[in-house]
Structure 1
Amino acid sequence: MLTKQKQALLGAALAGATTLTLAAELEQVIVSASRIEQTEAPLNSLSVIGEQAIERVSHTHINELLNRAPGVWVSRGNGQEHLTAIRSAVLTGGGSCGAFYMAQDGIPLRAPGFCNVNQLFDANSEQAARVEVIRGPGTAVHGSNALNGVINVITRAPTEEPSTRISAEGGPHDYSRLKLEHSQGNENHRIGFYANGAHDGGYKDDSGFDQQKMTLRYDYSGSVWSSQNVLTATNLNQETAGFVLGQDAYKNEALKKSNPNPEAYRDTSSGRFYSRWEREGSQNTHFVATPYLRYTEMAFLQHFLPGTPLEENGQKSAGVQTAFYSSQGSNTRLHYGFDLDITESYLQQEQAAPTFAVFPTGKHYDYEVDATTAAWFVGGTWQPKAERELNAGMRYEIQRYDYDNLMLDGNDDENGVPCPSPCRYTRPADDKDNFYNWSGHLGYREALSDTVDAVVHFSRGFRAPQATELYRLQSGQVKADLESEEVTNAEIGLRGNWSRVNASITAYRLEKDDVILQDSNRLNFSNGKTLRRGIELDISWNILDNLRLDVQGSYAKSQYDNNVLGVEGNEIDTAPRQLASAQLLWKPFSATTAELEWVHVGEHYLDEANTAMYDGHNLVNLRLAQGLTKGLEISVRVTNVTDEDYAERADFVTFGGGNYRYFIGEPRSAYVGITAEF
């Protein structure tokens, strides 16, 4: 184990994102690297956004929170929709979300192979204990989808002392939100209940959402076994506003609030339950087993497609995660385990209104996929001296799909009538597909002095093709012969901890092979190759006992690394070279807190040919909180203080002669809240 001085280096690895009092750092516990709680800094790049930061930000959308991790950008769509970038471009397309392992307490939010680009709205991040972010491939305890990164939302543990907290807030466009928390217990039994509901009338015309989230947690501590039992449910009913078209439309006052797709909507619900059981064994061993259940359903009108077809999909899953930890002497720790996930899923798509002849009215897809994922992993840490550490792990995973088409096979409409030219949508015949993959990591840490460590880390990740990439085909493609995407990541960094400053700097090279792409004929193939090289910086400086500056920044270049799209050497679209944020936190009095935040998104290309560009933007946010009496606090949050015109997301489409599309960012907005705790 690390000495207390070396444990303090965790603050450097997590600088700028950790929770703290301004006078002193609080020891931060993390679980994402190994599935069990640890205070040692992992050797891969991991950031933690803690409970105090979550409370201060009080985010209405997850992108407001995750910009506190360097190299991370969650691009907001309309309402609660989003696309993710972690050491990558903002990835789009039905299977792009497979590059990210998104989880609650280590349990993936969606089953392997069935991701959704918006799936973070299934997690109760608003009332989390912390959010842990691994940048780059995950460790041996992760599997498919831990390709570019891991986002793990950790539920809040209940307290023994009875505690109740109620928060209410309001803002522009009829925004309102109510949060309720209660926990109580004793030495052996503790229960916590966390719920929130939000209503947003929407900045855009005919937009807005209603969202509810609930987490119920029961913890048990016995003489031999302990358990953590969590039930989570979410629901979202959203009226979705579509893209606004035209170059620089986000600057046009007449277009900012317009909604070209007033009919669009998204309804989704999810539920998850897990029961984590663990015990200490003889000879310094530890065993953990976590069975779980998972459920999701979604219906949404695809406003971005001609004919705006309705998609309905759902999943039911059951699985178990296991891990066994043992110490071999005083300086070696090993772990190994087995994971199993069994999923039943369905997807249907239907178009009600007639449109272009290649988009036939009626049903386009109706299929079911049963999937099984099984994995074995092993890893360990060897620490011969306090100033030296070697960490390694490997995982082997088998993923099987059993696809059943419930319609006519082929490229005709639902009744077998051909389109004037090939129909857009193709239904392959029943099929079975198997994928066999491995991942691994190797890291080394060496103390250069009492305050500075050097870290070298290598990792390999993968993602199997998603079910939609295999079976939701187009333009006459009857079989998608796809390989698993693979990534190789190498990074080197320095981590320092001084009396008032924690800092880390990391340089990395991330190479992807067999990238799944769609060509100009809308055929799926997996011969793409990309290369990203970058540097990330994380600094936390306690300027005074009551004044702290946190800075997170990254500079990276993402390129197409072969010529399968005819653009080798070009930069990947929607991949800003610069991402940065900074927070100045001031606590002038014991009951007063003020935070000023700056968020920067650099200029970036919007197309593969690198001919269209978005200029980037800078946002300033202000957050104030004032305690009135014991247990009563008021708060004010002002987003986009400078009222900058900007786009949350921008892209350029080539069809129809080409055009710019934007999800327009909201103007200056103020939110007022009150919190009572008793």
Structure 2
Amino acid sequence: MLHFSRKKGAAAYFALFTTFVCGSSLGQTKDADIERITTTATRVASDVFSLPVSVSIVSESQLNQLSSTHIQETLSTIAGANFHRGNGQEYLPALRSQVLSGAGACGGLLTLEDGIPLRAAGFCNINELFEAHTELAERIDVLKGPGSAFYGSNAIHGVVNVITRNAIDNGEWGSLELGSFGYKRAKLSAGAETKQGGIGMNVSITRDSGYRDDESVMQEKVNLHSRFETDDLRVSNGLTYTNLDQKTAAYITGFEAYKDDDIAQQNFDPEAYRKARSLRAWSRWDWAISSQSSLTFTPYLRVQSMDFRMHFLPGDPYEQNEQDSVGLLTAWRHVLNDSLSITVGADTEVTDGALRQFQPNPTSGSAFLQATVPQGLHYDYQVDATMLSPYAHVEWQQESWLFSVGLRYEKMRYEYDNLMLDGRSREDGSQCGFGGCRYSRPGDRTDSFSNLSPKLGVSYAVSESVRIYGNASRGFRAPQATELYRLQRDQQVADLSSVRADNLEVGVKYLTVDSAANVSLYRMEKDNFIFRDSNFFNVSNGHSLHSGIELESWQRLSENWQLTVAATYAIHTYHYDELLDGININGNEMDSAPRWFGTVQLSWAPSDATRVALQWQHMGKYYTDAENLHQYDGHDLLNVYINYTLQKNIMLRLRMTNLTDEDYAERADFTVFSGDRYFPGRPRQIFAGIEYSF
């Protein structure tokens, strides 16, 4: 195993829709943005306006103006996306869902870079988007819900696809940014064209000494691209390397502790850290067989390793994990006539993974915790995994109607090898008190899971500027390796089924030259989901109901003023009988699931050289436990973005976040062991940067 230590008219209308509805505009439109299309929903260039799914896009100019220091800042401009920021580069995701945490959390959302999954199937990580080069992205596509047969396991709540900057065609570009609390970041993108292609490189380096005590982030990311073209063949190659070295500040505890500036700034676990390395290489071959047929195949390689202190668990154990994988994505597309096309293909992957959890020190706390969470080695295992997934997708265009039908089958197989004693004993075989140790290790075994995922979508053009759409789809998520083999208490075998989600969605898309909107309503039922209750027990075979309405809109108020809105109202509830501390949670709202949240942005461009945007972010109140006994009251933040073009090739940027210096929590939750706990939000920050185009 490798490891590192391990024109106006319909075309212009749809382009405006992509730019303004599907993203968060901070200023006037650039021509490059108007030409945007998406490949995420169908793996081929597609008109976002006509697709019978909800796709949101953050364009390159918007990404540059936001200049986010964390992926949460970018995705907060997308309706339905409610990522909770942790410390450093950590986060917990939510897309048309409650914030996903604990057991069963990772894998509810599929994350990609340039169409390649960031993590191997079955080996997700909750923070995996920090391994994508978002700092130098050309755009970020967000496909909401299980709306496409082109994606299988984990794409239950949607897909986030980070498209890296095309350094070959877009010219040389660099920036330097300085900010509060020792923040520094440098970015460079450079490339060269040749007669039949070219080469390019993106580099970003981040240093952040942090607001809280003993926290810091050191991060480096590199993309390398090359391209070769002939009359009927295009070969695109890519490589991404990322390195994160982070000193992590843990939760603070106590009711509304984030309102105490002294406590909020402290780090009560200064030894917490995270180190993560990733390498991905891929080669995409696009072959035009004929005027009607094309073939695409993309082999890829991943090498990943991570070690960190699990500051959120009793005893603060350390985890080391690594995965090496190779895979192949294929697609054959044939256009039968002007109205009908079909795409068929298969995705396959082979992975070699390992995990080790070790606690060097005795556990502190109650007598129960000291007795049941032992010092020493907790888990040590290897897992070999294979995945095979054929699929088919048909599109039929008939006058104002567009129909799409898709079907995907996936087979996932694990071969698990426990390198320790089986059972819930200590490392040396001795028994823990209070009925046994917290951590349990199953014996060697093989597990396999098969899933079938149908999709159906339809859209109808009421007029040139109005389109209605609907889709019905089923998504699935095979159990992840850690859920199957990292057991707790008296569990000897993980009796888990694949998570299944049935989704219905309808929507209206509206587009004119001066305004655009997308209103979508969805209802999704999810079976067999896994969650962690406030006693840290893993609860499986859950059933939940998710429904909501989302609005993304853009309106030109005048020649110089624009208004952008991304708003969400959603209800996420437990939909089955389960007693937690004597309370039946059936019908309760899921924890970390605010009903209201969103972003409103007012942009002003008094001249061609100056652009100013005022952004309001609203987070509604939400429960922090499944019993609905504790809650966080929410918050409101104001951010300001100012861009000034000094010369044709020099841009100055100034941004201020949390302008009113609000005391708030990026993340709030509750456990019976710690009570209320929080990741405090940062106070007012100022960032200044300069960008230079060569």
TM-score, scaled relative to structure 2: 0.94
Tell me what 2:467 maps to: 453
CA–CA distance in structure 2, aligned partners of residues 160 and 134 of structure 1: 26
Aligned to 1:377, what secondary structure does the other structure show?
strand
C-alpha separation in 1, matches of 2:228 and 2:45:
16
* CA displacement 1:613-655 (0-9 Å, x = unmatched): 1111111111111122231222111001111111000001123
In the TM superposition, 1:401-416 aligns within 5 A as 401-416=414-429
Name the counterpart of 1:641. Answer: 659
Moved more, 33-42 or 643-652: 33-42
> How far 1:481 moved relative to its partner?
0.8
Does residue 177 of structure 2 align to residue 169 of structure 1?
yes
Q: What CA distance in whole angstroms lies between the structure 2 residues aligned with 1:518 and 1:541?
A: 42
CA offset at residue 546 of structure 1?
3.2
Residue 295 (structure 1) aligned to one of 281, 290, 303: 303
Whether 1:342 aligns to 2:358 is no
CA contact (8 A) 1:22 1:542 kept: no
Q: What is the aligned length?
A: 672
CA distances 1:361-384 after superposition (whole Å, capped 9, x unpaired): 111100000000000000111011
Q: Aligned in 2, Cα 1:13/1:226: closer, same or farther, shift over 3 Å?
A: closer
What is the DSSP-based 3-state SS (H/G/I as helix, E as strand, rest coil) of the residue aligned with 1:99?
coil
Matches within 5 A, 1:420-459: 420-421=433-434, 422-459=436-473
In structure 1, which of residues 215, 229, 235 is the aligned counterpart of residue 237 of structure 2? 229
| Distance of 1:321 and 1:544 partners within structure 2 | 46
| 8 Å contact from structure 2 (residues 110, 154) kept in 1 | yes
Tell me the amino acid that sits aligned with residue 669 of structure 1.
Answer: Q
State the Cα deviation string for residues 132-180 of structure 1 (Å, max 9, x = none).
Answer: 001111411101000011100011223447x322211111111111111
The aligned residue for residue 79 of structure 1 is 88
Return the letter of the residue paired with 1:410: G
- 1:453-532 matches, within 5 Å, as 453-518=467-532, 524=538, 526-532=540-546
- Select 2:670's aligned residue among 652, 655, 669: 652
Partners of 2:557 and 2:29 in 1: how far apart? 10
Confirm or deny: 8 A CA contact 2:535 2:671 kept in the other structure: no
Label 1:360 to 1:117 Cα distance change in 2 as closer, same or farther (>3 A). same
CA distance in 1, matches of 2:439, 2:522: 40
Q: Which residue of 1 aligns with 2:367?
A: none
Moved more, 189-198 or 152-161: 152-161
Q: Which structure 2 residues correspond to residues 134-173 of structure 1 after superposition, within 5 A? A: 134-160=143-169, 163-173=171-181
The more displaced of 135-144 and 84-93 is 135-144
CA contact (8 A) 1:132 1:151 kept: yes
Please state how far the C-alpha of 1:10 moved relative to its aligned partner.
5.8
- What displacement does 1:523 show? 5.6
Match for 1:49 among 51, 55, 58? 58
Question: Alpha-carbon deviations, 1:377-400, whole Å to 9, x = none?
Answer: 001110111x21111101000000
The structure-2 alpha-carbon separation of the partners of 1:4 and 1:226, relative to structure 1 and needing over 3 Å to count, comes to farther
Distance 1:140 1:23, change over 3 A: closer
Name the CA distance, whole Å, in 2 between partners of 1:40 and 1:257: 44
Question: 1:396 aligned to 388, 409, 424, which one?
Answer: 409
Secondary structure at 1:326's aligned position in 2? strand
In the alignment, the residues of structure 1 paired with residue 291 and residue 200 of structure 2 have an alpha-carbon distance, to the nearest angstrom, of 34
- Superposition pairs of residues 63-102 of structure 1, within 5 angstroms: 63-102=72-111
Distance 2:71 2:546 in 1: 25
Give the fraction of aligned pairs with identical amino acids, expressed as a percent. Answer: 42
| Paired residues of 2:13 and 2:512 also in contact (CA < 8 A) | no
Aligned mates of 2:648, 2:19 — CA distance in 1: 31
- Contact in 1 for aligned 2:659/2:684 (Cα 8 Å): yes
SS at match of 1:465: coil
Unaligned residue ranges in structure 2 (runs of 5+): 1-7, 364-369
* One of 7, 10, 13 as aligned partner of 1:5: 10
Q: Say whether the 8 Å CA contact 2:616–2:637 is kept in structure 1.
A: yes
Equivalent of residue 643 in structure 2, options 617, 625, 639: 625
Does the CA contact (< 8 Å) of 1:551 and 1:581 recur in 2?
yes
1:318 aligns with 2:334: no
Which residue of structure 1 aligns with residue 113 of structure 2? 104
Classify 1:135/1:249 alpha carbon distance in 2 versus 1 (closer, same or farther; 3 Å): same
SS, match of residue 78 in structure 1: coil
CA, structure 1 residues 160+263, in 2 after alignment: closer, same or farther (shift >3 Å)? closer
| Contact 1:278 1:286 survives alignment (8 Å) | yes
User: 2:272 & 2:114 partners in 1: Cα distance?
Assistant: 33
CA distance in structure 2 between the aligned counterparts of 1:605 and 1:312, rounded to whole angstroms: 32
Q: Secondary structure at the match of 1:89?
A: coil
Aligned pair 1:249/2:257, yes or no? yes
- Give yes or no for contact 2:167–2:202 (8 Å, CA) kept in 1: no
The residue that corresponds to 1:282 in the other structure is 290
Write the distance in 2 (CA, Å) between the matches of 1:175 and 1:519: 37
Q: Report 1:523-562 matches (<5 A).
A: 524=538, 526-562=540-576
Change (3 A) 1:625 1:283: closer
Q: 2:686 aligns with which of 670, 673, 677?
A: 670
1:622 aligned partner, one-letter code = V
Cα distance per residue 1:165-199 (max 9 Å; x no partner): 22111111111111111112034112111001111
The answer to whether residue 209 in structure 2 is matched with residue 201 in structure 1 is yes
